[in-house]
């Protein structure tokens, strides 16, 4: 394992082997200090990178980037350079390493390319290591327009990390730290996914086109017995996980934990945390590798947020903390949180950030698929609140009131068996229903969707924190008595932002009412969430910290709406196609058979009332299904006349989605009345239990 790990990555070890000691040192310093690369050095790094990649069997290189569609992209160029005599040599220049010019015109730009040049540029991100995959050297890059507008998810992520570090260092200075020069967000993204049999997957148009089932009657058994969660991993799945781990380890992705999740056929993979930027790249790599390895095992990996109705959906828990370059985890309370003023202030900054920009956090977890998951009984509700646990909440309240005493004492977990060790109970890690929970030395943001890039969630967190850090630092700069200033910050936080703290059950009906009473934003769907993006307070935030200009904000909003519209149009069209060309014809055929059977039986004096009743019921349901499908078709004609992406999206939300549900209800009811051999596609039971 130690040899395999990172064996396909141009990491520190590979660099030390291939660069002179001085070049290596200069390269590291430039990356750390964020300086642009000296051209001579860049040339030597490019050369070393190519030689290393060729030794790995690479023939091509690609500028690997992350456009605004939650997947990655890149074109592959051979290292080939022709000589005059008809032979070729392998070549890779510093320019080719640093800059690429893919044609941007087919990537989502939200109108940016109408106003500006269509050409896009990719620039090397030296903070995330290059790697070799399938004979190509992958170079992580940022993707921008001709005039520097971000067209991807990496550019704003890097901008936000820069802003956060700047304000974080300022705040730490005010809190007495003299050594730290950089604050870096660390992220561990737990990835949930489903695995189903490939052959069955191929038989479902909805899964192939939309990644989720659009119809399917409830199977007799789902997740009721809790027998899948952490349960025995089936051999086929285990073989998949084994291969996946090896593949990921060789790519330097530190896949650490694997287990079965709550829903049948659902699993989870958690890597070790890394810097937000690398974690984001690795998460993309993880999703891509999962899909490919699954195919090799004749399985299909479903990353959709809600592949099946009636059982849990999949999310991506974004574990987040802040690390300083002098080795401090800013969210580590230590033995005595009350003595750890830095921790308390950073904690207050999180509370303030989440309360002030909860709408943006909700938005950062918005995908068309996540609408089906958020608010479901298993997933975080769409109201953003913070879970701190009783001990920390009490400590903050006391500190806010000027009493710096920790009256809590450790609680022990006693099993009543002498031979078993009594464990100290971890107060912080109990609430699994909160969208934003403090879990010991980090926050876990649980809303993010399983198919999404984690970039936006971290862009929002970084920027919102940068803002609060800067306000706190501004304030402390004016204070003569630092301790009094800290005290005031804590009491102000509790007074003005404490409403966002909720330690109860977020699934409880009463929480929605309570949250409304507290004035917390309740955002029900993607369209409402996307609307919030361009509120003045949000655009000001991004503008102030140079993460997004106003132009970029508007364009990104357009991209989100267009994406939503396209995905939903595809879903509705797929549903119509499945009804018209698979389900309705199967029903007509089956009803034909039933009526023949009925005639045959009557002819011999054995007419069956049960059979006729079945036929009647099916006839009725088929009529309903056909009528609901027609209604959906009518709506799809309507929706195409909508001029703006937002009107389109609103119509989808208000009309098309409820209508799709009506079609589904009729279809699912019919499924339960039809001979399983006559049903034109694999059932929920087949999909979830036949791996
Ligand atoms: P659980 O399922 O109980 O939430 P997991 O072990 O599956 O826990 O996932 C926890 C994740 O949190 C891992 O990816 C881990 O690396 C990450 N993590 C731990 N410490 C930090 C930290 N300081 N910053 C960011 N992520 C962290
Ligand atoms: Mg986990």
pLDDT tens for residues 13-58? Answer: 999 999 999 999 999 999 888 888 889 999 999 999 999 999 999 9
DSSP per residue over 552-566, as a string?
HHHHHHHHHHHHHHH
Q: Ligand 1 atom 5: the closest Cα is on which residue?
A: 270
* Average pLDDT of the residues in 644-673: 97
Residue 63 half-sphere exposure toward CB, CA atoms < 13 A: 23
What is the predicted pLDDT for the residue at 215?
Answer: 98
Q: What is the mean pLDDT of the chain?
A: 93
Give the pLDDT band (50/70/90) at residue 148: confident
The verdict on the CB of residue 329 being under 6 Å from ligand 1 is yes
The verdict on the CB of residue 182 being under 6 Å from ligand 1 is no
> If you search the block for the tokens 């086109």, which residue do you land on?
209
Centre of ligand 2 from the C-alpha of residue 254, in Å? 14
Residue 116 above 70 pLDDT?
no
* Average pLDDT of the residues in 272-296: 98
Which numbered ligand comes closest to the C-alpha of 442?
A: 1
* Average pLDDT of the residues in 662-669: 98
Give the pLDDT band (50/70/90) at residue 118: low
* Average pLDDT of the residues in 384-402: 92
Centre of ligand 1 from the C-alpha of residue 539, in Å? 31
Q: What is the pTM of this model?
A: 0.95
Contact by Cβ (8 Å): 687, 308: yes
Contact by Cβ (8 Å): 146, 57: no
Residue 319 above 60 pLDDT?
yes
Q: Ligand 1 atom 7: the closest Cα is on which residue?
A: 270
Q: How far apart are CA 62 and CA 136, in angstroms?
A: 7
Residue 330 above 90 pLDDT?
yes
* Average pLDDT of the residues in 481-497: 96
Centre of ligand 1 from the C-alpha of residue 319, in Å? 6
What is the predicted pLDDT for the residue at 409?
Answer: 67
Q: How far apart are CA 201 and CA 651, in angstroms?
A: 30
The verdict on the CB of residue 106 being under 6 Å from ligand 1 is no
What is the predicted pLDDT for the residue at 410?
Answer: 67
Q: Which residue has the higher pLDDT, 253 or 227?
A: 253
Residue 597 above 80 pLDDT?
yes
* Average pLDDT of the residues in 354-380: 90
Residue 84 half-sphere exposure toward CB, CA atoms < 13 A: 0
Centre of ligand 1 from the C-alpha of residue 273, in Å? 6
Contact by Cβ (8 Å): 229, 262: yes
What is the predicted pLDDT for the residue at 549?
Answer: 96
């Amino acid at each position: 394992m130690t040899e395999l790990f990172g064996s396909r990555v141009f990491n520190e070890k590979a660099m030390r082997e291939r660069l002179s000691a001085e070049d290596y040192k200069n390269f590291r310093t430039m990356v750390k200090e964020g300086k642009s690369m000296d051209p001579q050095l860049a040339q030597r790094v490019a050369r070393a990178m190519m030689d290393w990649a060729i030794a790995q069997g690479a023939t091509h290189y690609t500028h690997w980037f992350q456009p605004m569609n939650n997947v990655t992209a890149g074109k592959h160029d051979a290292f080939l350079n022709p000589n005059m005599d008809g032979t070729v040599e392998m070549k890779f220049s510093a320019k080719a390493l640093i800059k690429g010019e893919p044609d941007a015109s087919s990537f989502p730009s939200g109108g940016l390319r109408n106003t500006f040049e269509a050409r896009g540029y990719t620039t090397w991100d030296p903070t995330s290591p290059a790697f070799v995959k399938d004979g190509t050297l992958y170079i992580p890059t940022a993707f921008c327009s001709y005039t520097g507008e971000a067209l991807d998810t990496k550019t704003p992520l890097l901008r936000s990390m820069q802003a956060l570090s700047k304000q974080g260092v300022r705040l730490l200075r005010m809190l007495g730290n003299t050594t730290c020069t950089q604050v870096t967000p660390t992220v561990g993204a737990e990835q949930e996914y489903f695995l189903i049999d490939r052959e069955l997957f191929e038989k479902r148009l909805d899964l192939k086109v939309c990644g989720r089932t659009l119809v399917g009657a409830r199977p007799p058994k789902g997740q009721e017995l809790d027998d899948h969660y952490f349960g025995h991993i089936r051999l086929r799945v285990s073989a998949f996980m084994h291969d996946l781990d090896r593949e990921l380890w060789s790519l330097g992705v530190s896949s650490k934990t694997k287990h079965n999740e709550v829903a049948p056929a659902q699993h989870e993979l958690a890597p070790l945390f890394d810097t937000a930027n690398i974690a984001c790249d690795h998460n993309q790599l993880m999703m891509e590798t999962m899909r490919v390895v699954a195919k090799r095992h004749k399985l299909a990996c479903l990353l959709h947020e809600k592949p099946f109705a009636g059982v849990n959906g999949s999310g991506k828990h974004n574990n987040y903390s802040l690390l300083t370059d002098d080795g401090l985890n800013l969210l580590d309370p230590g033995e005595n949180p009350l003595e750890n003023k830095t921790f308390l202030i950073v904690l207050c900054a999180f509370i303030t950030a989440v309360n002030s920009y909860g709408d943006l956090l909700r938005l950062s977890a918005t995908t068309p698929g996540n609408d089906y998951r958020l608010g479901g009984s298993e997933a975080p509700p769409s109201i953003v609140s913070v879970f701190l646990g009783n001990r920390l909440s009490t400590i903050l309240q006391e500190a806010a009131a000027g009493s710096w005493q920790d009256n809590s004492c450790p609680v022990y977990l006693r099993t009543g068996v002498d031979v078993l060790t009594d464990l100290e109970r971890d107060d912080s890690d109990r609430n699994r229903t909160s969208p934003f929970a403090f879990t010991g030395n980090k926050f876990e943001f649980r809303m993010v969707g399983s198919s999404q890039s984690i970039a936006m969630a971290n862009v929002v967190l970084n920027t919102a924190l940068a803002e609060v850090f800067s306000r706190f630092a501004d304030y402390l700069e004016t204070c003569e008595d630092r301790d009094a200033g800290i005290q005031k910050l804590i009491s102000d936080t509790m007074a003005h932002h404490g409403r966002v703290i909720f330690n109860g059950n977020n699934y409880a009906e009463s929480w929605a009412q309570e949250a409304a009473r507290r004035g917390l934003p309740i955002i029900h769907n993607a369209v409402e969430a996307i609307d919030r993006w361009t509120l003045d307070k949000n655009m000001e935030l991004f503008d102030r910290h140079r993460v997004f200009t106003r132009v970029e904000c508007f364009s990104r909003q357009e991209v989100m709406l267009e994406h939503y519209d396209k995905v939903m149009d595809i879903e509705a069209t797929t549903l119509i196609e499945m009804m018209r060309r698979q389900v309705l014809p199967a029903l007509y055929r089956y009803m034909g058979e039933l009526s023949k059977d009925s005639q045959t039986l009557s002819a011999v004096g054995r007419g069956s009332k049960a059979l006729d009743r079945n036929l009647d019921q099916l006839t009725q349901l088929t009529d309903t299904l056909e009528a609901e499908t027609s209604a959906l078709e009518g709506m799809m004609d309507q929706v195409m006349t909508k001029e703006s992406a937002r009107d389109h999206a609103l119509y989808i939300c208000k009309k098309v989605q409820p209508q799709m549900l009506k079609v589904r209800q009729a279809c699912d009811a019919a499924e339960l009345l039809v001979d399983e051999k006559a049903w034109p596609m694999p059932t929920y039971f087949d999909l979830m239990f036949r791996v």
